[in-house]
Amino acid sequence: MARILIVGGHGKVALLLAPVLVARGDEVTSVIRNPAHADDVRAAGATPAVFDVEHEDRPALAELIAGHDAVVWSAGAGGGSPARTRAVDFEAAVRSMDAAKDAGAARYVMVSYFGSSPDHGIPESDPFHAYAEAKAAADEYLRATSLEWTVLGPSRLTLGEGTGRIDAAAQTSGEVSRKNVALVVAQALVEPATIGRTIRFNDGDVAIPEALAGEPPDQPPISPRG
């Protein structure tokens, strides 16, 4: 049994992830900003924690994380202004990493996206640029920490079936169901081979435990909008 903190607990992936973790015996705390979302979180089997990651400071976040074994970052600004995108997708994410270290929660799984890279290639004129910049910077910061990190890079998200099978050696971005993303996060939390790795993936033909157990081929960032 592990104690897992999901940041962004009302997101579509997070609401699919929580029941998977609870079903295997984990205790799940889902961080939400809006108290109106608490019932949805409870229905997924998690304990809601109302907390504003955008504005609360590092000590407060460390206090929230304390007692948990792992942090899953599945939060995002969801568009809007470039300033808020940076505040949530980079600055708050970085605070959560530092706070996890302060709190003694060594395991950290970042839900990113397939094309995240400092060389993402998105022009400044593109509305996606601010998100691409923030995610790339957050991912790079995480890789430089002493945490037991994993960066997950799912491709375009769909509402398709959770097949439990992926392509974790993908060289180009395709698509992947949110349920499969949730299953990948859950497996990454218990698979030591995922620590210190960036794993980009699509829906595919390989069972998730098998796909995550071995070291995949190098996966250069290819698709900027993956």
User: If you average pLDDT over every residue of the chain, what do you get?
Assistant: 94
Does residue 198 register a pLDDT over 50?
yes
User: Which tens digit of pLDDT belongs to each residue from 66-85?
Assistant: 999 999 999 998 877 999 99
Handedness of CA 11, 187, 173, 147 (dihedral sign): positive
User: For the domain bounded by 3-213, which CATH number is listed?
Assistant: 3.40.50.720
What residues pair up with 144 in beta bridges, in sequence order? none
What residues pair up with 2 in beta bridges, in sequence order? none
Kindly report the pTM of this predicted structure.
0.94
User: Which tens digit of pLDDT belongs to each residue from 201-218?
Assistant: 999 999 999 999 976 555
Using pLDDT thresholds of 50, 70 and 90, give the confidence band for residue 126: confident
Using a pLDDT cut of 70, give the percent of the chain over it. Answer: 95
User: Which tens digit of pLDDT belongs to each residue from 75-116?
Assistant: 998 877 999 999 999 999 999 999 999 999 999 999 999 999
Using pLDDT thresholds of 50, 70 and 90, give the confidence band for residue 8: very high
H-type helices in the chain, by residue range? 12-23, 38-43, 58-65, 82-85, 93-103, 129-143, 178-190, 208-213
Residue-range domain boundaries for the chain: 3-213
